[in-house]
Amino acid sequence: MRFDLTDLRLFLAVAEAGSITHGAADVSLSLAAASERLRDMEAIGGVKLLDRQRRGVVPTEAGSALLHHARQILHQLAQMRGEIGQYAKGVRSTIRLLANTAAITEILPSRLAPWLAAHPQVDIELKECQSIDIARSVARGFAELGILSDTADTTDLELHPFATDRLVVVVAGNHALASARQVGLSDLAGEAFLSLAGGALQDHLNAQAARIGQPIRPRVSLRTFSDICMMAGCGVGIGIVPETAARRYRRAMNIAVIRLAEDWATRRLSLCVRSRGKITPLARELLLHLQKE
């Protein structure tokens, strides 16, 4: 069987996502190119690797065996690059890091910057995911490091404290709720919502709203927390954002910041790995750096 590294990465990504479309996007291939590669892999091997189902794809028994070996090969390749990269200036290494929205937008840039500046040969492949997906991906070896909330099942992971992330409601300074100290999600029924245009945080909020039978129907979907705060300050609607972002923009954008009463709105973030001994030396060094901040 002749499977190249792109084949193995694609198969891992498809298995992780449970979708050929999403897996192809993760490895920067078109759907047509990814589908052709997967068909060729099955033809070359003379065996079915994926079961195509209505809601996605799952590995067959043969596919599960390929997954096991693909993980080992790609992990060993990453280790080799990481170890050689410490000695050879021309060799680049990549660390895959998964994190939730708040960590990526509010915390990681300032923490990663000095480490990356000191390691010019290292690239970070940073991907935004919900905590439940981060836990699953790190446990299965699809990523070396993750940053997730305490809402996820982390049974098979090694955890290290990272930060506390609180979600708050932002409204115009003259809004009827502006003087409230805290509100529950159910208290926001009938309000015009300013939502993020996709992303793990919005998926999390949508799931919590669905649980109480109060789906969020956005008046407009925006790309950044600053956009949400600006429009909230103008009286366009209300938004739910990390407290760090809300306090940063509070004065400039004339918004009131109100705590969310639900327990899920205060999330303790942790760094996670399968095992410190199973990650590359560079990933281990990054883990130690992020722990110290």
Token pair 């050929």 is at which residue?
Answer: 20
Contact 129, 98 (CB under 8 A): yes
Give residue for tokens 């009131």: 256
Would the CA dihedral through 273, 275, 279, 282 be positive or negative? positive
- Tell me, what's the pLDDT at 176? 96
Closest to 237 measured CA to CA, from 250, 255, 252: 255
pLDDT value at residue 7 = 92
Instruction: Supply the mean pLDDT for the chain.
Output: 90
Checking if the pLDDT of 252 tops 90, the result is yes
CA nearest 152: which of 243, 271, 260? 271
**H or E stretch covering 176:** none
Band of pLDDT at residue 152, cut at 50, 70 and 90: confident
Which residues is 193 bridged to in the sheet?
Answer: 218, 238
CA distance 225 to 218: 15
Task: Give per-residue pLDDT as tens, 41-99.
Answer: 999 889 999 999 988 999 999 999 999 898 888 878 877 766 676 666 666 788 999 99
CA dist., res. 35 & res. 24, Å (int): 8
Give me the torsion for CA of 40, 144, 154, 196, rounded to 10°: -80
CA–CA distance, 137 with 274 (Å, rounded to integer): 10
Residue 254 backbone class (left: φ over 0; alpha: ψ -120 to 50; beta: rest): left
Coil, helix or strand at residue 24: helix
> In angstroms, rounded to a whole number, what is the distance separating the alpha carbons of residues 283 and 87?
16
What was the pLDDT predicted at 88?
Answer: 60
Residue 255 has pLDDT above 90, yes or no: yes
- Does position 189 have pLDDT exceeding 70, yes or no? yes
Q: Which pairing describes strands 193-196 and 238-242: parallel, antiparallel, or unpaired? A: parallel
- Once rounded to an integer, what is the mean pLDDT over residues 22-41? 89
**Cβ density class 155-183: b for 16+ within 10 Å, e for less:** eebbebebbebebbbbbbeebeeeeeeeb
pLDDT at position 89, please?
A: 61
CA-nearest of 148, 166, 165 to 157 is 148
Q: What is the pLDDT of residue 117?
A: 97
Look up residue 71 and give its two tokens: 């993980």
For the chain, the domains span 1-88, 165-266
Percent over 90 (pLDDT), the chain: 66
What is the predicted pLDDT for the residue at 61?
A: 93
- Looking at domain 165-266, its CATH superfamily turns out to be Periplasmic binding protein-like II (3.40.190.10)
How far from each other are the two terminal CA atoms of the chain, in whole angstroms? 46
How far is 264 from 282, CA to CA, in rounded Å? 33
The SS3 call for residue 82 is: helix
Compute the distance between CA of residue 31 and CA of residue 119 in angstroms, rounded to an integer: 34
CATH number of 1-88: 1.10.10.10
Is 191's pLDDT higher than 80? Answer: yes
51 pairs with which residues across the strands? 58
What pairs with residue 242 in β-bridges?
167
Q: What is the pLDDT of residue 293?
A: 63
